[in-house]
Amino acid sequence: MPQNERRVALVTGSGRGIGAVIAAYLGTAGYDVALHYWHGESRARAIAATIRAHGGEASCFYADLSELDTPSQLVAEVLDHFGRLDAVVNNAATVVGRAFQDVTAEDLDHAYHLNYRAPFVISQAAAAWMIGHGVQGAMVQITSVHQERVTDWDSVYGSMKAALARATESMAYELAPYGIRVNAVAPGRILTPEQAGLADPKREALVAEGIPLGVSGQADDVARAVGWLLSPAAHYVTGITLRVDGGLNLPMHRALIGQQLEFI
């Protein structure tokens, strides 16, 4: 690739939350950015405009990734527009907020299609182009600490994220001979820009007591981790899940015993 040619990154779920912040960050890190959205078109377009204003290229792509053919079609549209693809961040996901006994077959199918099948197929399509064009690209799957950590109503979300983390290892193994790296980032308690303005300071202080570093993370923390994993600085890193959780998933638990937090 010529020295003056910018790399192209696709970020799914760029219309809000962590995905929007990742897309904006990559735009400042020298990437041209394909912003996928299903919800949050105005935010995605605003980020794209900012990237263009700073000399980069960015374009927005609408797709319902839960549909059968749209994941591969999205990659084809990005390639048709930009002509190349060097990095993929599979961030789009859905949460099924139901107890295990209340999860419906429709809930399960929708979550599977969006949380597992879509990133799997997008990664396949991107890898096929990279291999065919000799591009040693990189991919990051956004998983969650809930791939390991059980909490209320996460039987679907947690298990899908665990499956994606495991698939990341297989992708990394099979794509390594082509110089394509695949990793995962597992966020913990992250306050997105949308959530930060609505957060109750008292509740946040209580939540922070259960996090070893004593504070919730910000979406920028995840974006920087993704940026590092995609960058040449991580050229020898593949097949890992990088937790960005302030130590939340360390093997510990604290409980309120006699009005005092104690390790148990």
**Active site residue ranges:** 157
Distances (CA, A) of 17 to 11, 46, 134, 139: 12, 14, 33, 19
∠ Cα 229 94 251 (to 5°): 60
Which residue, 77, 93, 97, is CA-closest to 85? 77
* Rounded Cα gap, residues 199 and 29, in angstroms: 29
Which residue, 19, 136, 10, is CA-closest to 75? 10
DSSP H or E stretch at residue 16: none
Distances (CA, A) of 248 to 168, 189, 214: 22, 8, 10
* Rounded Cα gap, residues 235 and 136, in angstroms: 10
Which residues pair with residue 59 across a beta bridge?
34
Specify whether the CB–CB gap between 52 and 33 falls below 8 A: no
Residue type at position 84: R
* Rounded Cα gap, residues 98 and 80, in angstroms: 40
Which residues pair with residue 138 across a beta bridge?
87, 181
Locate tokens 């999205």: which residue?
74
Which residues pair with residue 214 across a beta bridge?
none
